[in-house]
Each structure stands twice: as C-alpha cells, then as structure tokens.
C-alpha cells in the first residue's frame, strides 16, 4: 500500500512509499484546487531536471507535481539489491497520484518519461486528463506505418553514444560536472544557444539535492521487457499532444511524427529549436504549448 509519509506537506515536499521498499521524493507546486499536472522525467534523471522556471509557469494554471524516480535524487537507491523492470516506473507514477489523492491528472513525459506516459495511456487512461509526450520514441511492437518505416528512423547522435559509453564511470566531482555539462551540450542540439553555466548550476543543484555526484545508471540496466505494446496505442482515447523537437539528438524527426500517427487522438506540434534539453530559451514557448493543450481538457 502507498502512503504519504508526511500528509501535512501536500503543497511542498514529501515522500511516497511504493513497492519493494522504494520511497520516492515528491514536490508539489501551486494551488491544489487547480487541475493536477504530473511531470515524468527521463532515465536516470532527477525531477529537478524539470526547470524551475517551467514549473513556475505551469503552476499558474495547474497543481504541478514533480518527483525523483527510483535510484535518482532523494528517492531510494537500491537497484543492485532490488532490481525492477522499467515498466514498474509507470506504476510509481500512479502510486504518487494515489498518495496525493489525485483522481485524474494531466501527465507530461520527457524521454523515458514519454515511454512511461505511453504505458499510462494503455493501462490507466481513467487517471489521465490529457497526455503530453516529448523527446520520446514510439514503444515497440507498433503496427507498421506505410509512410514512416523503421529504416527511415535515425538513431542517436554518435557524440551521445560516445558519452554514454562512459555512463556510470567513477569520476571526482569536478570531472563529473564537466561530463554532465558536455552531455547537456550535445542534448541541447545545435540551434538554440547553449549556456554551460546554466547547466552547470542545474547539475550543482541536483548534486546537492541528491547528496552525491555519483552518476546514476540503474535505468540503463533495468529489464526492458513488457514494452512491446505499440500496436495497442491505436485504441487510445485520451487527448494526447506529441511535441516534435526538431533538434533532438536522441529521437530526431521523424520519431515524433511516427508516435503521433500511432495515437488516434494525438496532435503533433513543433517547438522550434527544441532538442533533448530544456534551456531557459525554450521554456516560455514550451510552457505555452503544454498549457494550450491542457487548457482545452481541464
């Protein structure tokens, strides 16, 4: 059974206990009387990776919830002792809504978070007011698309593959910070300006929040089975927004278009210049894109 560890903190920070002895750090922002909006971040990433500026803009219209996945941030780190499949992280999102007594929410998922949102669309449509997906590919097992074939889909930027080969290596704090900023530089894409100090400051805050500079890698090791369900998305009825990030070095076009075509209720919207990072330069337009979508479904 899930529970809020401290029920007197519904609008700030709390911890939610989920399965297998994992406890998740959860932060809420905004008026709890407004429609809830749950932010689901990508693999091995703390919830603080959602920019504070974006959270603040979204909280003008929503009760915003962001959280640390298992093995990130202040949540329990225990993958070596208690491994889990990636699909368990989707169950964690529902456990957080249950613990906060939120019957239905808008959900926004980035990268792996977008994969989890696809699972939520399939398994928990009754809990979703709407869904927004960015920086994510269509989950496996999808019906063939006559216009966008698998061979048309580019893979990740080779610069990222080189950096990912170093994921989880032991580095001192200074070296780890340099690696993370280099990673963000590639994720940002080559159109929007990149401010290394903006992302260095973000990583310093994440390290302080987490209490460590150790680079998490549990999600790269987690079981990927049970994800071959793309064909089921044809039955989705929840209003869904797919955001096309034209400069995304992980899931570049036409990944977003393929995902949108697989969901009958999906709308595809391009945010110019967007890559696989959320720099300040793109936050206002991204917030507007999300709230335009959620505002029609609240």
Active site residues: 111, 248, 276
Q: How far apart are CA 111 and CA 166, in angstroms?
A: 20
Rounded Cα gap, residues 298 and 286, in angstroms: 18
- CB-based contacts of 184, cutoff 8 Å, min separation 6: 194, 196, 199, 202, 203, 277
Show Cβ contacts of residue 197 under 8 Å, excluding neighbours closer than 6 positions. none
Report which secondary-structure segment, H or E, holds 108: strand 105-110
Q: Are strands 63-67 and 128-134 parallel, antiparallel or unpaired?
A: unpaired
Of the candidates 95, 119, 132, the one whose C-alpha atom is nearest the C-alpha of residue 19 is 95
CA 278/CA 211 separation, integer angstroms: 23
CB 203 within 8 A of CB 181: yes
**Cα–Cα dist 255/245, whole Å:** 9
- Assess contact for 33 and 63: CB atoms under 8 A: yes
**Pairwise CA distance, residues 206 & 52, whole Å:** 12
Query: How many H-runs (helices) and E-runs (strands) does the chain carry?
Result: 9, 9
Instruction: Indicate the pairing of strand 63-67 with strand 23-29.
Output: antiparallel
């Amino acid at each position: 059974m899930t529970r809020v560890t401290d029920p007197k903190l519904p609008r700030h920070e709390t911890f939610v206990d989920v399965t297998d002895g994992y406890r998740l750090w959860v932060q809420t922002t905004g008026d709890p009387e407004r429609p809830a909006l749950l932010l689901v971040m990508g693999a091995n990433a703390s919830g603080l990776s959602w920019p504070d500026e974006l959270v603040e803009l979204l909280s003008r219209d929503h009760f915003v919830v962001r959280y640390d996945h298992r093995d990130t941030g202040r949540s329990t780190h225990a993958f070596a002792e208690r491994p889990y499949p990636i699909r368990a992280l989707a169950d964690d999102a529902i456990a957080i809504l249950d613990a906060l007594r939120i019957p239905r929410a808008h959900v926004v998922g980035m990268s792996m978070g977008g994969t989890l949102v696809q699972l939520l669309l399939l398994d928990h449509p009754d809990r979703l007011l709407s869904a927004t997906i960015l920086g994510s590919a269509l989950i496996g097992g999808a019906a063939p698309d006559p216009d966008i074939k698998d061979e048309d889909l580019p893979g990740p930027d080779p610069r990222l593959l080189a950096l990912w080969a170093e994921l989880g290596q032991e580095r001192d704090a200074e070296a780890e910070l340099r690696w993370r900023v280099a990673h963000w530089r590639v994720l940002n894409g080559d159109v929007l300006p990149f401010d290394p100090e903006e992302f260095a400051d973000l990583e310093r805050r994440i390290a302080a929040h987490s209490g460590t500079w150790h680079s998490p890698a549990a999600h790269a090791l987690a079981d990927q089975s049970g994800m071959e369900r793309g064909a089921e998305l044809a039955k989705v009825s929840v209003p869904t927004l797919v955001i096309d990030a034209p400069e995304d070095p992980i899931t570049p076009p036409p990944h977003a278009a393929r995902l949108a075509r697989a969901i009958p209720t999906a709308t595809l919207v391009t945010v110019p210049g967007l890559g696989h990072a959320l720099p300040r330069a793109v936050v206002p337009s991204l917030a507007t894109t999300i709230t335009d979508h959620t505002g029609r479904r609240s």
